[in-house]
Amino acid sequence: MTTIETPIDVATAAASGASATERFRADKSPFDAVRDSPKERVDLLAREVLSALHDTIRRHRVSYDEYNALKAWLIGVGADGEWPLFLDVWVEHVVEEVATDHREGSKGTIEGPYYVPGSPECGARGTIPMRDDEKGTPLVWRGTITSTDGTPLRGKVELWHADADGLYSQFAPNLPEWNLRGTFSTGEDGAFEITTTRPAPYQIPTDGSCGKLIAAAGWHAWRPAHLHVKVSAPGHELLTAQLYFPGDAHNDDDIATAVKPELMLDPQTRADGSQAVVYNFVLDPQRTER
């Protein structure tokens, strides 16, 4: 299997974890959405999670040494600020599956820990903010946003992705604040055209507690190359997705289990060496609360 090396002197687990934790706290109000949850619901979920853990301990006769190692590891995840990374890599894909199983439109997948709201507006047709000497294959992406009945939508595509070294702006040093992050707003025809660069596969940070789990379990830390998007339009459900490239060595064993066949791109190489791709989005109308 061919992989690329991620620079080891940047984007440490501690730095990335701290940034992800700070961003989550700033942008999310997790308890507001569940403030009115019945105690019975909290009791049910908490008891079932604990029961599953208890069953694992009994079934595999977990020792005190293993228990204390788990306790130390959990403390380490918090100290490293890696809870957003851990949950987004190993848990979020199931939450996303359950939350969107009613949808008839485009498939989505996990958000991941590196989303930042408020990226620069680039119009319906534009180039994402990038350095003058940005590495990577130029990529031009054309698409449309429509409703499930085929009606074009005036909406927006928020795009963010790693650079050719597998690094995200605002989560790694020495990158411009909004590098490879932009918002593209469509007109009445729902069409957009985005010029960016093709990202690289990368490893999640492995020098922290998540890396210790990966090493102890004999797993790998690789994610396939992907484009992150949030696609929205008035009166429609927000779509969060990642788009992937065929032939990537990690499409079949993504550590985050986020790849779906419906999210695979079909880039075509042009005479000048750049690539062009067409990928459209279909959004579901917001459901009426009953």
pLDDT, tens digit, for every residue of 177-208?
999 999 999 999 999 999 999 999 999 989 99
The answer on pLDDT for 54 being more than 50 is yes
Tens of pLDDT along 18-47? 666 676 666 666 667 677 889 999 899 999
What share of the chain in percent tops pLDDT 90?
81
Tens of pLDDT along 205-228? 899 999 999 999 999 999 999 999
Out of 3-7, 85-89, 142-146, which region has the weakest mean confidence (pLDDT)?
Answer: 3-7
Beta bridge partners of 230: 158, 240
The answer on pLDDT for 89 being more than 60 is yes
pLDDT at 37: 85
- Tokens standing for 173? 């040093």
More confident residue, 30 or 106: 106
pTM listed for this prediction: 0.86
What is the pLDDT averaged over residues 86-108? 95
What are the structural domains, with CATH classification, of the chain? Answer: 80-283 (2.60.130.10)
The pLDDT-based confidence of 14 (bands split at 50, 70, 90) is low
Taking all residues of the chain, what is their mean pLDDT, rounded to a whole number? 91
* Residues whose CB is less than 8 angstroms from the CB of residue 182 and which lie 6 or more positions away in sequence, other chains included: 119, 120, 121, 122, 126, 128, 129, 158, 159, 160, 194
pLDDT at 11: 57
The secondary structure of the chain, three-state, reads CCCCCCCCCCCCHHHHHHHHHHHHHHHCCHHHHCCCCCHHHHHHHHHHHHHHHHHHHHHHCCCHHHHHHHHHHHHHHHHCCCHHHHHHHHCHHHHHHHHCCCCCCCCCCCCCCCCCCCCCECCCEEECCCCCCCCCCEEEEEEEEEECCCCECCCEEEEECCCCCCCCCCCCCCCCCCCCEEEEECCCCCEEEEEEECCCCEECCCCCHHHHHHHHHCCCCEECCEEEEEEECCCECCEEEEEECCCCCCCCCCCCCCCCHHHECCCEECCCCCEEEECCEEECECCCCC
The pLDDT-based confidence of 155 (bands split at 50, 70, 90) is very high
- Tokens standing for 284? 């579901």
What is the pLDDT averaged over residues 226-233? 98
pLDDT at 81: 87
pLDDT at 214: 95
Dihedral pair phi/psi, residue 179, rounded to 5°: -60, 125
Tens of pLDDT along 240-269? 999 999 999 999 999 999 999 999 999 999
- Tokens standing for 90? 């190993």
Find tokens 């961003």 and name the residue.
Answer: 23
The answer on pLDDT for 3 being more than 60 is no
The pLDDT-based confidence of 287 (bands split at 50, 70, 90) is confident
Is 171 within 8 Å of 165 (Cβ atoms)?
Answer: no
